[in-house]
A and B are shown apart, each in its own frame.
Chain A
Amino acid sequence: MEITLFKKLAAAAFIAGGCIAGAAQAQTLQVSIEIPRLNVAEYHKPYVAVWLEDEARKATQIAVWYDLEMRNNEGKKWLKDLRQWWRRGGRSLDVPVDGITSATYGPGEHALDVVIAESDLAKLAPGKYRLRVEAAREVGGRELVEIPLTWPLEKSSLPLSAKGEEELGSIRIAMLP
């Protein structure tokens, strides 16, 4: 299985973390997202959004994969198709956002590494949350998979996982050492 790591943030963190030490600061949340290989006549890589939602449905953005390469930012036109994400903050986001947006990915397992101390996750109040992963594919379907969790994450409870049925495969939450 093809594995792609989004290490832009993570790499920086490892270096920084290594110098400062302090395990807490270097904590990295890893969300693995499997994009299934679909046997369809016309395949486009899905748009995917990942966010953490509290009980009042307030969203903390983690990642958005969309078509960044289209001429005149045409790719942004389809962001609304991630319709839950769009409602939960996508529409107020001025994309692209450093550390959050990136290009779409094809079938395979993709790991999203977020250094907690360097992201909005560091500001989260302890409590109940849902990690939500939404995928929408051009001329295809849409799927929303969610994993309930308690923040801060208890290492003993990890990994947490869930599985989509159509547009998303298995979703897994882990904490990198």
Chain B
Amino acid sequence: MKKMTLANLLLAGVITAGIAMQAQAHRAWILPSSTVLSGDDPYVTFDAAVSNTIFFPDHVALGADAVTAIAPNGEKVALENAARGKYRTTFDVQLKEKGTYKIGLASSGLRAFWKDDEGNRKMWPGRGQQANDADFATAVPKNAKELRVSQSSRRIETFVTAGEPSDTVLKPEGVGLELVPVTHPNDLYAGEAAKFKLLIDGEPAKGADVVLIPGGSRYRDNQDEIKVKADTAGLFSVTWPSAGQYFMEAEYEDNKAKAPATVRSASYAATFEVLPM
């Protein structure tokens, strides 16, 4: 199983409740300075943070250690000038090759929640810690009260394109909740419908809940959420009401987990830029 560190991402809310939905108050995002680029070897600079307000760094920086940038040829490219501030992390990526790049992080693994003999809440892995599934047997008492074991995964992504869009980085890995764009993520325009497909471990994520929120929520009274549900094929579509940056979050949960887990839960978040017509 593929694994990457998520140290700074796992917030108290996610772990104690064991349900990613609870993390709604804080949203982790990677925001590109631009998504459609021309010219030779352009640079894109990114902000990465976990915040209450979309694209406004007000909580904690999202560490760059686990972030990978994948070039159109499938190779990893280095993040440059990574710097962690109090509220946001910034880094640059140079697009030396024409095509679409994917920048993001992903993690998956077992989590357990239970109560010990004194009735205290316990969890594994501990807050902010990264566990190895192999340690599950020794770290979690199997007869503990209210033991709940979940197989959970999380993914945060964004896409940028130099020149003509390409598809290589859009191929799913078959792990956790993934977005397979039918409409290219760097070809989104206000007033046009975009279609996407969600997969859970490579299969259609039937009925996954999707929320899309336009950036700039700091300057309006409402979230202006667009709520959509993936159909039985994992497909959903959205017609962009206006141009701007959008935060998308999808949640999925079922009981088709592999033992020792009983619950399979996954979340997917992405940043999209929608351009004016």
Contacts and interface: CB of A to CB of B under 8 A. Distances in A.
B40 interface: yes
Contacts of A86: 36, 38
Given A83-B275, A84-B277, A92-B164, A77 B36 contact: no
Interface magnitude class on chain A:
10 to 19
A75 B38 CA distance: 9
Report whether over half of chain A's contact residues are helix, strand or loop; otherwise say mixed: helix
Given A87-B187, A92-B164, A79 B36 contact: no
Interface of B: 34, 36-40, 42, 163-165, 187, 189, 275-277
Nearest to A74: B39
A76 B164 contact: no
25 contacts: A72-B40, A74-B39, A75-B39, A76-B38, A76-B39, A77-B37, A77-B39, A77-B42, A78-B38, A79-B39, A80-B34, A80-B37, A80-B39, A83-B36, A83-B275, A84-B277, A87-B187, A87-B189, A90-B38, A91-B36, A91-B38, A91-B163, A91-B164, A91-B165, A92-B164
Interface of A: 72-80, 83-84, 86-87, 90-92
Contacts of A72: 40
Contacts of B164: 91-92
Contacts of A79: 38-39
B40 to A, nearest CB: 5
Nearest to A84: B277
A79 B40 CA distance: 11
B43 to A, nearest CB: 10
Contact of B40 (A76, A83, A84): A76
A73 B39 CA distance: 7
B38 A92 contact: no
A84 B36 CA distance: 12
Nearest to B189: A87
A42 B42 CA distance: 25
A78 B36 CA distance: 11
A11 B171 CA distance: 51
B40 A80 contact: no
Nearest to B98: A91
Residue from A73, A80, A83, A87 whose CB has the most chain B CB atoms within 10 Å: A80
A84 B192 CA distance: 14
Contact of A80 (B36, B189, B276, B277): B36
